[in-house]
Amino acid sequence: MGRGGRHRGRSQRKDFKESRENVWKRPKSDASVDGSDNAVPEQKPTWEPIVTVNPNFEEYYKEQGVVKAEEWDLFMEILRKPLPAAFRVNSNGQFCNEIISTLENDFMKSLQAEAIEGGELEAIKPLPWYPKNLAWHSNFSRKEIRKNQTLERFHEFLKLENEVGNITRQEAVSMVPPLFLDVHPDHFVLDMCAAPGSKTFQLLEIIHEASEPGSLPNGLVVANDVDFKRSNLLIHQTKRMCTSNLIVTNHEGQQFPGCRLNKSRASEKGISENMPINQLAFDRVLCDVPCSGDGTLRKAPDIWRKWNSGMGNGLHSLQIILAMRGLSLLKVGGKMIYSTCSMNPVEDEAVVAEILRRCGDSVELLDVSDKLPELIRRPGLKKWKVRDKGGWFTSYKDVPQNRRGGVLVSMFPSGKNLKDSTETMQKNENGDLNGSEDGLKETDVPVVGATPDEQAEEISDLPLERCMRIMPHDQNTGAFFIAVLQKISPLPEFQEKPNTKRNSTAKSTDLTEKSLSKESVVTVDAAVPDGSAVEKVLEADSNNEKDDSLEPEKKITEGESITEDKEANSSNAGGKRKVPMQGKWKGFDPVVFVKDETVVNGIKEFYGIKDEAFPLHGHLVARNNDTSSVKRIYYVSKSVKEVLQLNFAVGQQLKIASVGLKMFERQSAKEGSSTLCPFRISSEGLPVILPYITKQVLYTPMADFKLLLQDKSIKFLDFVNPQLAQKATDLVMGSCVVILSDGEEPVKVDASTIAISCWRGKASLAVMATAADCQELLERFAEKIPKTDGGSVNGSNGDLGGPQAMETA
């Protein structure tokens, strides 16, 4: 594929310009030529614009004053335009510098003509506020990049680099929260609502980038999501990072277990009290909560049609509960980000204000205005109103009794009833003041005869201006809300455990799973008519009074299970396959430490791995209780190992969907299988283990390395360098590693070393890597590589090359 600039004809540019104007149009199902009943339908579908008007939306945000009156027209104009594509270069990728160079020296220039034709000054540019030119903004939408021939080469570049993990497509504002979290390589980080995983990937980049070269970080990331299917997306996204410092869990965020080890129970079970950690606490928490998602209108224009103010009201309580649980899991001195992709103050400042009221002096809202100065953001609001069923309320005292089930006192700036307590709070039979966590019970009644003068707007006395609002028209992005909180001291005792009371919550008029449209939204149960989306979530909490004792989900079907053997799962969809169990978690394969000395020592001996250099004992896990039939072995870092040990000690409270880095796969070939070690090195695990392999290594010059990538399998006699035939023959039959070398002698392995996993057969060498991995390397080596119409290299169909019949894992 050529790297130089490419000029397009006028006709292509005309088509390109027209397509830019139609990116938000959809087909009419019953279009006709002249609109008459007898007209003959056109063969090709006609298009109509997606509606980008919602009077309720405009009225709501005008009233809230999220932007000045003179900005309103520009604000709405930008909201109605498609969102430009953005992506981030993996700072830990082997070819990070080369990719940035390609963007700066190739695509910035070659795409410039198309940008000018479309009315833009620049085609692509680095985001000025993101460090080291690692994040890029395109003035084309994702659909434009995908559909227009003028951008075909750029699209192919993005697809390939994204597939192999060198870049991540991510909305620009979504990249902001991790940058304010101040993550260090030894930090334990929790991403509470992680799917689809772009922020998790970003957090992993940060802890790896800051660690010493050639060593694994001492920290880890726990990525959690309540939605089962989205957890699979999260696993797929983070797999490209090739990290052993990740655990993916599947819990309701508000019930995420703290895994506290009870000393008395530990002694009863014979568990040592001297474990490295006795509670799962985090240095950093990212609480990117489910929200109404109106900040994503530019990439999800269907929200225009669905939006109503009740969506935000219905999620307010859940957002508070999630944030409070995140703070309870945070270590003293630790930091938490609370963020949404909503512009609604009821979901943003109101939640932060309630957090500060509940936590008192134990939590501080940090001023980070001096960080990332080139990022344009606005201070948080100090005053706002609450809308419910067509009515506006400036204070909770104005809310009628019959509305107080849906409009909570915590939604208002003051967070309390502003009336004189002697008039508004009536004593109950025991002489105590009526009150709930929100300050009032539903039986409280407003004072009769309140005048309009009493309905003055409330202004919060909390430093909410320290929050950040990112608005779409400031830097041509989506909208986002961010607050940085620091835990100064332990939370008040009544706040340290999850709230198990069933709070009264807002009744959402049109809140479904789809309406929670945000990049990292947690899918909660859909609202039933006249019911709140959070009520169902809280029902499960009401029967669960213990902090660290969770009950397994009662309904997880086999088809939804996250299991090791997907093929077996799909082939037995009828229910005959035994549903796996991970402790008490039905539908999840167990996580088991590989303690079989024969297996571990066999791997060490075969690949020449010294335990003192790269310890395998205690770091290998499988997802099968029977180690004799294990198909995949995963490597976990020291920090992940300690969390797993704690999890076993507390009765497997963590519901683990994925853990560690796939390092070895069983190779059950009839021909060429080694009796000494049936496990081959996986492509994902190779970069981590490569520096420690001393056996089964073949050093290959460029000519033969390229030939191997192109043909996928080479007979020993066909090597360009005849001496390689003998060296390949000297290898033991089975898995091996081929390293690109200037000569034939061993080279010192470092971050720049290029290597691939192969299989040494009787008389040939076969590549055990994906077509995308091979293509990406070939494009590093040459300007143009022959490709088939299917987009693969030299006829490859995208599957693993080489002896495909041997693949059973």
- Give the integer Cα–Cα distance in Å for 143 and 299: 10
**How far apart (Å, rounded) are the C-alpha atoms in residues 49 and 47?**
7
| DSSP SS3 for 86 | strand
Q: Which residues pair with 175 in a beta bridge?
A: none
* Annotated binding-site residue? 195: yes
Residues marked as catalytic? 341
Task: Please indicate if the annotation marks 669 as binding a ligand.
Answer: no
The answer to whether 239 touches 656, Cβ cutoff 8 Å, is no
CB 692 within 8 A of CB 609: yes
Give the residue among 591, 620, 624 at the shortest CA–CA distance from 603. 620
CA distances 611 to 600, 692, 751, Å, are: 10, 9, 21
d(CA 699, CA 754): 10
Q: Which amino acid is at 16?
A: F
CB atoms within 10 A of CB 108: 17
List Cβ neighbours of 134 (8 Å cut-off, separation of 6 or more). Answer: 88, 89, 91, 96, 100, 126
Q: Is 199 annotated as a binding residue?
A: yes
Q: Quote the CA–CA distance of 796 and 786 in Å, as a whole number.
A: 11
Q: In a 3-state reduction of DSSP, which class is residue 124?
A: strand
Distance CA 773, CA 750 (A): 19
272 vs 50, 268, 276, 487, 549, CA distance in Å? 62, 10, 10, 30, 20
DSSP string, 578-605: PPPEETTEETBPPPEE---HHHHHHHHH
Q: How far apart are CA 714 and CA 802, in angstroms?
A: 9
Going by the DSSP 8-state scheme, the letter that residue 559 receives in this structure is: G
How far, in Å, CA of 115 to CA of 337, rounded? Answer: 36
Q: Is 192 helix (H, G, I), strand (E, B) or coil?
A: coil
Radius of gyration of the CA atoms of the chain, in A: 29
Q: How far apart are CA 263 and CA 276, in angstroms?
A: 14
Instruction: Indicate the DSSP class of residue 45.
Output: P
> What is the DSSP secondary-structure string of 478-543?
--EEEEEEEE-SPPPGGGSS---S-------SS--GGG---TTPPPPPPPPTT--HHHHHHHHHHT
Is 380 exposed, middle or buried (CB count within 10 Å of its CB: 0-12, 13-18, 19+)? buried
Q: Indicate the SS3 state at residue 356.
A: helix
For residue 96, the surrounding DSSP H or E stretch is helix 96-102
Strand partners, 288: 339
Per-residue DSSP letter, 33: S
How many beta carbons lie within 10 A of that of residue 355, not counting itself? Answer: 25
CA-closest candidate to residue 292, choices 19, 498, 57 = 57
288 annotated as a binding-site residue: yes
Q: What is the dihedral of CA 596, 598, 604, 608, to 10 degrees?
A: 180
What are the strands of the beta sheet with 697-700, ordered from one edge?
697-700, 734-740, 755-760, 764-767, 713-715
225 is in an annotated binding site: yes
| Nearest Cα to Cα of residue 478 among 67, 798, 81, 204 | 81
Q: Is 196 marked within a binding site? A: yes
User: Distances from the Cα of 201 to the Cαs of 240, 313, 414, in angstroms?
Assistant: 9, 31, 38
194 is in an annotated binding site: yes
Asked if 506 and 387 touch (Cβ cutoff 8 Å), the reply is no
**How far is the C-alpha of 255 from the C-alpha of 252, rounded, in Å?**
5
Q: At 306, list the tokens.
A: 């669905």
**Sequence ranges of the binding site for S-adenosyl-L-methionine:** 193-199, 225, 288
**Sequence ranges of the binding site:** 193-199, 225, 288
